[in-house]
A and B are shown apart, each in its own frame.
Chain A
Amino acid sequence: MELVVVSVLGADRVGIVAGIANVLARHNANIVDIAQTVVRDIFSMIMVVDISKADVDIAGLRAELEEAGKRLGVMVAVHHIDVFRYMQRI
């Protein structure tokens, strides 16, 4: 598995989860974990996604997700899981 963390933040509205998940599905990237909350109308979502069978690399996926984020009015960031492994685990 090659895991990346997709994080989404912005004003809540209909279709954010669908919009992001749609990009992932289109590229055969599999969501293995998802946490999502809305606090005071601010939507936040963290997804752990396996891109080992995806048809794009992490940079390509990031570019498309950022584009989808723009359409949805939310901020999207994509980081490799190693960043979290290194910083949060000894």
Chain B
Amino acid sequence: MRLFSPEEIGEVLEMVLFRELDIRAVTLSVNTLPAIRGDVGSAISALRDLLRPYLEHFRPAVDKVAAKLGVRIVTARLAVSPISIMLEPLGRAEDAVEIAKSLDDLAEAYGVDMVGGFAAFVHAGVSRGDRALLDALPDALNSTKRLGGFVNAASTATGINMDAVYEAAEAVLSMRPEAAARFAVTANVPEDVPFMPAAHHGLGLPDAVVNVAVSGPGVIEAVVRNMKDADLRTLHDAIKRAAFKVTRLGELVGREVARELGVRFGAVDLSVAPSPKVGDSVAGILEAMGLPRAGAPGSVLALHLFVDAVKKGGAMATSTIGGLSGAFIPVSEDALMARAAEEGALSFDSLKAMSAVCNTGIDMAGIPGDSPPDVVAALMADVMALATALDKPLGVRLVPIPGGKPGDVYELGGLYGRVVVMDLGKYSEIPLARRSGVVPPSVWRLRAG
């Protein structure tokens, strides 16, 4: 008897060979808190000693699994414990920059594409280590190439730290486009995200785990395009089935890499992530459902249907769901999202509306380099409010383009794609954004006890 019918084999081959199905990221997440020291020199050398044994095996393990399975693994990433914790005894921004640079060097030396964890959790207030990290943000990201960072400025449990949001807005505006692309302000960020820039080693995790993120919009778009006359329930079911298969590939790769490294397998992020390649677009799925352009009326409905189907299909495919697990709608990293922004179909208002049903928020959208901080902070705060009101993770990743005007395009290249400068509107001062303090937690907090 045949193990698999030629049709079954053909289906997988079509996904892997012709629909850009690949593994977007394998992220090794390591507890780096044992490297905390009282002076920066010792801390950096302890950090290197701690990470080196992992890193020596990591890239080879990823390459070995990719070769064995015949599946592309696009990036190998490292996540470390939030660097703000390491900065608690140090308390100086210049130390934060030194640590940032050494992590960047380590990543480069060991073939790690990105390292995440230059992060602070400040949703209810700023500690000594957080302060050092916040002050170092623009310098640290401007002087590195592979470092990812975030500031978690809001949580359902504690509210929205508006001071931190405003500082994050000012920090973004002092970053080069290449640096801003590696930074997000986040709300409710989970501990096992394999995606940059939200990846970090959470406090609830063992010493090392492997988390996985899949890509696969092309697979789902092909399914949707083949179902032109299907009703919505049938369409939902077909997406669910495809999402199951996509997620299973992530589960397989995660288990194999974890086994190679002798560490625990963590979670698969159910999110279907796009890339700038043709045929690898979430917007392509939405348009295949029957939208003239991503961002047109109906986009929230289409995204909701897609996200729900992905979650339901993915839930059975992996033993551990993790990360953000929704749809990713980064504007520049998705060729059709970028086109929609260029044509004006996609605005910040439509992205905000779509944030209610996705898990990225406003991601990889260009803004003019001279944007008013009030407006940037207020836009970020809007997304923070959505995240806390809906009790879900969301983030904002904006890329300021020097001299950029709405409609201009800036090439970041690689997975980052083409950044389109979008219109932030006509206001330059928003006094609300400058009110200091913390927005109290929403009623969700009371329900949690």
A52-63 vs B, CB cutoff 8 Å, 1 = contact: the mask equals 000001110010
Question: Which A residues from 1 to 22 make CB contacts under 8 A with B?
Answer: 3-5, 7
Would you call A7 and B248 a contact (CB within 8 A)?
no
Within the complex, which residue of B3, B6, B67, B71 is in contact with A83, where a contact is CB–CB below 8 Å?
B71
Would you call B10 and A83 a contact (CB within 8 A)?
no
Number of interface residues of A (CB under 8 A): 25
A42 within 8 Å of B (CB atoms):
no
Return the chain B residue nearest A90 by Cβ.
Answer: B316
Q: A58-B67, A78-B70 are in contact. Are A83 and B17 (CB under 8 A)?
A: no
- B71 surroundings in chain A (CB, below 8 A): 79, 83
Would you call B9 and A59 a contact (CB within 8 A)?
no
B1-16 vs A, CB cutoff 8 Å, 1 = contact: the mask equals 0111010111111011
Would you call A77 and B3 a contact (CB within 8 A)?
no
CB distance from A39 to the nearest CB of B (A): 12
- B3 surroundings in chain A (CB, below 8 A): 3, 33, 48, 81, 84
Q: A59-B68, A77-B70, A80-B69 are in contact. Are A46 and B12 (CB under 8 A)?
A: no
CB distance from B144 to the nearest CB of A (A): 33
Q: A48-B3, A83-B249 are in contact. Are A88 and B70 (CB under 8 A)?
A: no
**Max chain B C-beta neighbours (<10 A), residue from A4, A59, A62:** A59
B434 within 8 Å of A (CB atoms):
no
Q: A62-B70, A79-B70 are in contact. Are A5 and B9 (CB under 8 A)?
A: yes
Number of interface residues of B (CB under 8 A): 25
Q: How far is the CA of A87 from the CA of B21 in the complex (A)?
A: 12
Return the chain A residue nearest B316 by Cβ.
Answer: A90
B245 within 8 Å of A (CB atoms):
yes
Would you call B67 and A84 a contact (CB within 8 A)?
no
Question: Which B residues from 228 to 265 make CB contacts under 8 A with A?
Answer: 245, 248-249, 251-252, 256
Would you call B6 and A35 a contact (CB within 8 A)?
yes
CB distance from A79 to the nearest CB of B (A): 4
- A87 surroundings in chain B (CB, below 8 A): 12, 15, 245, 248-249
- B11 surroundings in chain A (CB, below 8 A): 88
Given contacts A58-B68, A79-B69, A82-B256, 14 further A-B contacts (CB under 8 A): A5-B9, A7-B13, A33-B3, A37-B6, A48-B4, A77-B13, A77-B16, A80-B70, A81-B3, A82-B69, A83-B249, A83-B252, A84-B12, A88-B12
A-B pairs, top 7 by smallest CB distance, nearest first, are A79-B70, A59-B67, A86-B252, A86-B248, A35-B6, A87-B245, A80-B69
